Structure 1
Amino acid sequence: MADGRWPALRGRLESLARPRQPETLPVTFDRRRIYILPTAFGMFLLGLLLTMGVGALNYNNNPALLLVLLLGGAAHSSLLAAHLQLSGLRIVAIDAEPVPAGKPLRLRLHAAAEPGRDRRGLEVHYGTAHAPLGLSAGHGEAELSLPTRMRGWLDLERVRISTTRPLGLARAWAYIWPSEPLLVYPAPEPDGPPLPEGRGETARARLHPAGDDVHHLRDYRRGDARRAIAWKPSARRDSLLVREYEQPQGADVVLEWRALSALPYEGRIRRLARWVDEAERDGRRYRLELPGQPTLGPGRGSAHRHACLRALALLPPLVTGHARGG
């Protein structure tokens, strides 16, 4: 029977297998966490050996019986070898860089083991995603791509580490169930108005759209003023271009939740996420003002961007019960 034909059996085993609840990493695999079942090739070999054994006994063929015993001993030893591939393996950590909802999350699993034992053919499985786990000098890493759908915390389910080495007769596997969730940023608004006006003690007057000091041309975005469209360059490019005027670098961009009251709840989050990315891309100092939370900033840089997007991702949902999820 092929491995892919055992979903019902696997489901029952998972409900009984260790761990039965989320656990804190690192975790070391011992004999109580490792499970073994024959593969399709292993089942075929078992049937073949039974047939050969019955024939050898029926015809009193000692060489054939000896061959059956030798092959059976080798198969039994392969079960022990498959068990030893996982025994003592230490799962150190699981992490991932946050991504906007809708984009794949790159999950990284870090493992360690005693360098004296050769471990090959290890694989990491999560849902339908799988990746090889290679160990070099006692350390290894596997990377999987997980889909994301919602902002906020993504709680991980069981992660399976398995192998069919050395002979492919049996599959040995063990589970880990990380207790630490992963963060998913809100998806930024695809189109929208430009950044709001900068404010602050060092802010200068922003250049008027009708001025002559053009910083660069960019593609038209929904919500841009018609007077900012560069018609002649647009005609040459056969697409709408908009004049982007130089921004005063001393002005702090203020991203206010209450200033977007015309948008729906999730629409405000997506627009603020987009503005955070734009301000960071343009090198602007910005601060984020959210209801019921202290103001973040002003500042810029990867740490400030993460703090702002994290605050947006963890805003309570409009519908109760979906605060945690990817």
Structure 2
Amino acid sequence: MGAWRQRLWRRLQAWARPRTHESLPVAIDRKRVYVLPTPFGLFFALLLAAMGLGALNYNNNPALLLALLLAGTAMASLITAHLQLSGLRIDALSAEPVAAGEPLLLKLSASARDGRRRRGLSLRHGEAASALSLDDLGEALLPLPTERRGWLDLERIRISTQRPLGLAIAWSWIWPEQALLVYPAPETQGPPLPTQISDTGAARLNPAGDDVHHLRNYRRGDPQRAVAWKPSARRDTLLVREYEQPRSAEVILDWQSLAPLAYEHRIRRLAHWVDQAERENRRYQLRLPGQPALGPGQGPAHRHACLRALALLPHADGAR
């Protein structure tokens, strides 16, 4: 598309509904649906005009009747294309965060208020496109390109169809106010985890541990498998084994320790270490400037909290 077409398209979008962000769910009514002929539809209209003029010129009633029937079919296709969108409802959208540079899969859920089936619907967000059918679940996955970490503000999403005959295209816009999170891209071929660890002690008591720590008197609710039968028989009282589980070292991921690196490089290095600590099943703590320390912890929730904090740090051009 040429530059002048893009400028014209953007000006037309400024007049289309909605003109601001909107919260979901959103119902698409007839005031939000726009219909125009496709290139094939324009060719078909010219063909019908030629047929009609020829039939009138030669006073050919069958040809004139055929032209009128085809024109009525074309008008019916315009109305049908409009009805394909009118009555739709966009219920929700969501996306799992991904690292910058990877496609973010936007999951969009839709339904039909009137219960009619819709087929042949397409979604478009910028250059990304996907198909949507309201036969079963009414869900579509729209891959969105990501370039920078942080919040990804959605542009207008176009829902369109050219059914049933491809003579006209009907479309509508939705502009969700929801922003999607993009994690920072981790450093490739980064160094191993730092050797700085926190003082966590040697071990902790754990009923599912590996080593027996001591014996104690039985308490109501203790599992039967933990009862030490032989010592209990010797002492004539029920004794229970208390186990211990060695604690693994907790790694400290400190922003200040990466002072020699550039600002964005620090973020990528810390993101790499977060993923590496998760792969190695290590507990870790993330320390960022001006924020309370995150952790120590481990698991999907802790990983998300750390990567979210890294993603929402000010960008290099706005960082002090």
Q: Give TM class, smaller chain.
A: 0.7 to 0.9
Is this contact kept in 1: 2:95–2:180, CA < 8 A?
yes
User: For residues 246-325 of structure 1, what are the structure 2 equivalents within 5 Å?
Assistant: 250-320=248-318
Stretch of structure 1 that moved more, 120-129 or 54-63: 54-63
Separation in 2 of the partners of 1:184 and 1:65?
60
The alignment's TM-score, normalised by the length of structure 1, stands at 0.80
Aligned pair 1:194/2:192, yes or no? yes
Write the letter of the residue equivalent to 1:107: L
User: For residues 87-166 of structure 1, what are the structure 2 equivalents within 5 Å?
Assistant: 87-114=86-113, 116-137=115-136, 139-166=137-164
Structure 1's 16 and 89: CA in aligned 2 closer, same or farther, altered over 3 A? same
- Deviation of the 1:192 alpha carbon: 2.6
> RMSD over aligned Cα, in angstroms?
2.0
Aligned position for 2:73? 74
Q: Could you list the per-position Cα deviations for residues 129-188 of structure 1 after superposition, in whole angstroms to 9, with x for gaps in the alignment? A: 111102224x31111222211111111111101000011100000011111111111111
Separation in 2 of the partners of 1:142 and 1:162?
14
- Deviation of the 1:6 alpha carbon: 6.3
Q: In the comparison of the two structures, how many residue pairs are matched?
A: 274
The alignment's TM-score, normalised by the length of structure 2, stands at 0.81
Is this contact kept in 1: 2:200–2:247, CA < 8 A?
no
Aligned position for 1:214? none
Q: Which SS does the other structure have where 1:175 is aligned?
A: strand
Q: Could you list the per-position Cα deviations for residues 53-96 of structure 1 after superposition, in whole angstroms to 9, with x for gaps in the alignment? A: 11111122222111111111111011110011001111112221
User: For residues 20-31 of structure 1, what are the structure 2 equivalents within 5 Å?
Assistant: 20-31=19-30
Unaligned ranges ≥5, structure 1: 205-247
Is this contact kept in 2: 1:203–1:251, CA < 8 A?
no
Is this contact kept in 2: 1:202–1:250, CA < 8 A?
no
- Deviation of the 1:110 alpha carbon: 1.3
Structure 1's 203 and 20: CA in aligned 2 closer, same or farther, altered over 3 A? farther
Write the letter of the residue equivalent to 2:283: R
Rg larger for = 2
Structure 1's 201 and 318: CA in aligned 2 closer, same or farther, altered over 3 A? same
Q: Which SS does the other structure have where 1:32 is aligned?
A: helix
Is this contact kept in 2: 1:52–1:68, CA < 8 A?
yes
Structure 1's 7 and 178: CA in aligned 2 closer, same or farther, altered over 3 A? same
Identity %: 62
Separation in 2 of the partners of 1:33 and 1:318?
41
Separation in 2 of the partners of 1:6 and 1:73?
32
Q: Which SS does the other structure have where 2:292 is aligned?
A: coil
Separation in 2 of the partners of 1:6 and 1:60?
43
Is this contact kept in 2: 1:249–1:284, CA < 8 A?
no
Q: Which SS does the other structure have where 2:267 is aligned?
A: helix
Moved runs in structure 1, 4+ residues, more than 4 A?
A: 5-9
Is this contact kept in 1: 2:118–2:135, CA < 8 A?
no
Q: Which SS does the other structure have where 1:94 is aligned?
A: strand
Separation in 1 of the partners of 2:24 and 2:75?
32
Structure 1's 277 and 249: CA in aligned 2 closer, same or farther, altered over 3 A? farther
Unaligned ranges ≥5, structure 2: 204-245
- Deviation of the 1:10 alpha carbon: 3.3
Write the letter of the residue equivalent to 1:47: L
Separation in 2 of the partners of 1:72 and 1:272?
65
- Deviation of the 1:193 alpha carbon: 2.2
Aligned position for 2:46? 47
Write the letter of the residue equivalent to 2:140: A
Write the letter of the residue equivalent to 2:269: R
Aligned position for 1:221? none
Aligned pair 1:183/2:181, yes or no? yes
Write the letter of the residue equivalent to 2:117: D
Structure 1's 318 and 170: CA in aligned 2 closer, same or farther, altered over 3 A? same
Is this contact kept in 2: 1:108–1:141, CA < 8 A?
yes
